[in-house]
Chain A
Amino acid sequence: MIAFMIRRITQALIVIIIISIIGFAIKQSVGDPLRELMGISVSMEEREEFREKLGLNDPWYVQYGRFLGNAVKGDLGTSMFYKRPATEVILEKAPATLELVFVSSLIIIFLSVPLGIFSAIKPNSLLSRLLMGGSIVGVSIPVFLTAIMMVYVFSIKLGWLPSYGRGEVVMIGGWGTGLLTVDGWKHIIMPSIALSSIMLPLFIRLIRSEMMEVLESEYIKYAWAKGINKKRVWFVHAFKNTLLPVITVGGVQLGVTIAFTILTETVFQWQGLGFMFMEAVERSDAPLLVAYLMFVGIVMVGVNTIVDMIYGLVNPTVRIAGVK
């Protein structure tokens, strides 16, 4: 187990270093920091002097070392647009995205588990057939289209729900939450449904197919033979063993979720990380862009490593895979 953990952590570190190299390369190739810092009247000599002072004439590995050193200390550069440290901007926007992801995961969990189990237990019922048909339609509709259609129906035609923004936000420490006000909840309904709309069909299908596989296995047949109560077999014996693959896939889906938060936040102008990222792209705000890339990269590598390790704890066969 320890060998597995060490291998996994080394791999994570290598990936983080690769991400930092990519981030550094982008920083070098997008925009000239001097042009952003000084006006047109500054003379060439002064520019050159300043360039030397900022260390922009050092060889790239020295600059990369400095970049990495600062990044470890949590300094990812200063956003050109906000004129503030990029880390600060990211931490300020993160709660909005986290709340959105949180609410839509709740929707996914509370809908996909019962629906998935139901369609596995009763594969021939009308509802299961509808669910399977609906799920393939569901994955074929892009998130942004779902979002736009919801805005058109519920905001423009019916006027029930607000079409953009987070609404009233309450500050608790450094965390601006919209989940404590009625207005905040009204604002989060549509974005979170839109975000969950693409994952929900995937999870229903996944839970269904895993559950059906488990229901075919020997120990379930044995449980039937023992005459155990139906509900106990379904929800305790069978469902427990469908959870493991579902959790792993759930961990992997994090990257997909982040990609879709960018789309959802763009439609609803949700003031989170995804919206900030798109704004940074439009403004060519390289430091912020790089900071977001590094931030997302590190979060994803971290989560994936933890999921893998939990999986390694629960399922010993994974540890052996990949051993040469």
Chain B
Amino acid sequence: MMTFAGFKDSFLWYSFKRDKIAIISLLVLVLLVMVAVFAPLVAPYDPYDPEMIDIMNSEIPPVWEDGGEKAFVLGTDSQGRDMLSTMIYGMRVSLIIGFGAVALQAILGVFIGLFAGYHGGFLDSFFMRAADVQLSFSYLMVAIFMSAILQAIVGVARFGEIAVPFLILVIGFSQWPQYARTVRASVLAERNKEYVEAARVAGFPSAQIIIKQIFPNTLSPILVLSTIQVANAVMSEAALSFLGLGMPIDRPSLGSLINSGFEFIFSGAWWITALPGLLLVILVLSINMLGDFLRDVFNPKLYKG
């Protein structure tokens, strides 16, 4: 295992210290995640508490605009909820779904990739065909179809209650092929190397060889992929919620906030849509920048752009 001292001498840390964009992205991301984790302490109001909401306060613009009020720094939405608090809680929901979905797809994909790649044969071709087919449909489309169908089956009201675990499942299941393919490719490269041969000759069971010997050597592509996938999952969640197939409006994510604000931009209340949109872009951008940095570090062959 890599120790802290080992990490300080590593190429990863060396390049990180020299990359301003990566440092800024990581700082922004850590800040956003901390805010989301400690949302109840950070947010000035609790958007889930109907006691705190007064419909008379609806559509107040941010402080720097005419008619803004000090009590609501970023204004309020159409239901009179404080934008800042609602956005913080919304980001929390988005991140829970994003990380949850990535955890699920990573477990599924890594498991399938490792075993299919190591054993080959029928299972391998079956899963890889399935991955090909699913990828050719694009994960977003698969996710949209799955939620649309489920919503049609269980009905909108019931759907709202199970939205979080359901979105994690949908996004997780629609993106496992990415992991399975990446992991399988590295397993294929590793499986005929001497150390694996040695382990095989020493008589270790194959499950142990796969998990203890091969798996650690597939970690760096997994790390790169995971960053990009978190960004993808957050974006997918936003897209689904924007279509009304995701989080309900009383427990909004960033996507459903953007959706609920959309009709109000025609009356000039741009902040209900634009501010959560901006937060979403900052969040996704910082993750993508980090992903780009990691890809460059772990893949020095690629030209840096």
Stretch from A67-75, A81-89, A238-246, A277-285 at the B interface: A277-285
Q: Is the CB of B133 within 8 A of A15?
A: yes
Residues on B close to A: CB < 8 A?
125, 129, 133, 135-138, 140-141, 144-145, 148-149, 151-153, 231, 235, 238-239, 242-245, 258, 262, 265-266, 268, 270, 273-274, 277, 280-281, 284-285, 288-289, 292, 302-303, 305
From known contacts A145-B281, A151-B265, A252-B135, infer whether A281 and B152 are also in contact, taking CB-CB under 8 Å.
yes
Asked, given contacts A145-B258, A322-B125, whether A140 binds B288 with beta carbons under 8 Å apart, the answer is yes
B243 touches A255 (CB 8 A): no
Complex Cα spacing A4 to B245, Å: 40
Contact indicator A123/B303 (Cβ below 8 Å):
yes
Smallest Cβ-Cβ distance to B283: which chain A residue: A140
A144 touches B305 (CB 8 A): no
B292 adjacent to A281 (CB under 8 Å): no
Tell me whether B243 and A263 are in contact (CB under 8 A). yes
Whether B153 contacts A30 by the Cβ 8 Å rule is yes
Inter-chain contact B281/A141, CB cutoff 8 Å? yes
- Cβ-defined contact, A255 with B125, below 8 A: no
Name the prevailing secondary structure of the A interface residues. helix
* Set of chain B residues within 8 Å of A17, measured between Cβ atoms: none
Out of B141, B239, B262, name the residue touching A142 (CB < 8 Å): B239
**Which one of B138, B153, B235, B273 has the greatest number of beta carbons of chain A within 10 Å?**
B138
| CB neighbours of B144 from chain A (8 A) | 259, 262
Q: Which residue of A lies closest to B266 (CB)?
A: A156
Q: Is the CB–CB distance between B145 and A293 below 8 Å?
A: yes
Asked whether A255 lies within 8 Å of B137 as measured between CB atoms, the reply is yes
Q: Provide the A235-278 mask, 1 if CB < 8 A to any CB of B, else 0.
A: 00000000000000000110110111011001100000000011
* Contact flag A140-B284 (CB < 8 Å), given A145-B277, A266-B243: yes
A-B contacts, 27 of them at CB < 8 A, read: A15-B133, A26-B149, A26-B152, A26-B153, A137-B281, A140-B231, A140-B284, A141-B281, A142-B277, A142-B284, A144-B242, A145-B277, A148-B258, A148-B273, A163-B266, A205-B305, A252-B135, A255-B141, A256-B138, A256-B141, A258-B138, A259-B140, A259-B239, A260-B140, A277-B148, A282-B244, A300-B137
A128 to B303 Cα, complex, angstroms: 13
